[in-house]
């Protein structure tokens, strides 16, 4: 007898939707593509999520929330260790969780899909962009506060655009993972630790300038 691990319908839809929204975007992905790949019925989407947009919202939330949670935890750790922490420590706490997602997904497609999804959200008009912004608002505020304590001579405004650029860099690095010439070439903890280090070294001097 073949042991089948039942995955519930809702989870199946989310998994496939995440993949396709990352690959093709919101407008470029049809619900029929999603349900076909997930092997479920079209009406299940509306039953469980209500609409395509709500499905997207759910996918973004489940992508963002683990990253936000871990990033806030790591910031708290860093601040508990020394107050004020170094700029490098803060940046590392910011960058690490996304890279952890990468490791936890074995460097497979899901790893880059999270980044691709976030990258896409940042190019969409509202309401899509606002969906993603809302998920990360708390995280950004916390890190801006921390940065302001470390770099008190810089305005909030300046720290804001710089942090935004760090996000752009991070998303790009993750999206390009595994491609020829990319910074990320492997997914062992050692390789990722090196990536984090190099990224911090890339952006820290700019943050200080």
Task: Give residues in contact with DNA (CB under 7 A).
Answer: 8-10, 29-33, 40-48, 51-53
Nearer to DNA, 50 or 108 (CB): 50
Q: Which residues bind a copy of itself (CB under 8 A)?
A: 23-28, 116, 119-120, 122-125, 156-157, 160-162, 164-165, 168-169, 171-173, 175-176, 181-183, 198, 201-206, 209
Is 84:93 a contact under the CB 8 Å cutoff? no
Of residues 71, 63, 26, the one with CA closest to residue 163? 71
What is the closest distance, in whole angstroms, from the C-beta atom of residue 208 to a copy of itself in the complex?
Answer: 8
How far apart are alpha carbons 72 and 23 in whole angstroms?
Answer: 28
* Exposure string over 86-125, b if 16+ CB within 10 A, otherwise e: ebbbbbbbbbbbbbbbbeeeebeebbbbbbbbbbbbeebe
Task: Tell me which of DNA, a copy of itself, none is bound by residue 161, counting a contact when its beta carbon lies within the kind-specific cut-off of 5 to 8 angstroms.
Answer: a copy of itself
How far apart are alpha carbons 34 and 107 in whole angstroms?
Answer: 23
Task: Tell me which of a copy of itself, DNA, none is bound by residue 2, counting a contact when its beta carbon lies within the kind-specific cut-off of 5 to 8 angstroms.
Answer: none
Nearer to DNA, 36 or 69 (CB): 36
Nearer to a copy of itself, 23 or 54 (CB): 23
Nearer to a copy of itself, 21 or 49 (CB): 21
How far apart are alpha carbons 190 and 16 in whole angstroms?
Answer: 30
Structure tokens at 31: 């619900």
What is the closest distance, in whole angstroms, from the C-beta atom of residue 194 to DNA in the complex?
Answer: 41
């Amino acid at each position: 007898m073949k042991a089948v691990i039942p995955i519930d319908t809702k989870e199946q839809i989310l998994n496939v939707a995440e993949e396709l929204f990352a690959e093709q975007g919101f407008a470029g992905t049809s619900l029929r593509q999603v349900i076909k790949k997930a092997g479920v019925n079209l009406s299940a989407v509306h039953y469980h999520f209500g609409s395509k947009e709500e499905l997207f919202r759910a996918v973004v939330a489940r992508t963002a929330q683990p990253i936000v949670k871990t990033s806030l935890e790591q910031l708290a750790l860093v601040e508990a260790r020394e107050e004020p922490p170094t700029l490098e420590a803060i940046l590392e706490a910011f960058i690490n969780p996304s890279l952890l997602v990468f490791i936890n997904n074995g460097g497979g497609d899901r790893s880059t899909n999270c980044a691709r999804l976030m990258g896409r959200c940042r190019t969409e008009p509202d309401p899509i962009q606002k969906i993603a912004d809302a998920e990360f608002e708390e995280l950004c505020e916390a890190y801006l506060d921390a940065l302001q304590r470390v770099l008190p001579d810089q305005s909030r405004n300046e720290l804001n655009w710089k942090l935004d650029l760090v996000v752009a860099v991070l998303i790009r690095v993750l999206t390009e993972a595994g491609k020829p010439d990319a910074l990320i070439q492997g997914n062992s903890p050692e390789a990722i630790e090196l990536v984090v280090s190099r990224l911090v070294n890339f952006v820290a001097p700019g943050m200080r300038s």
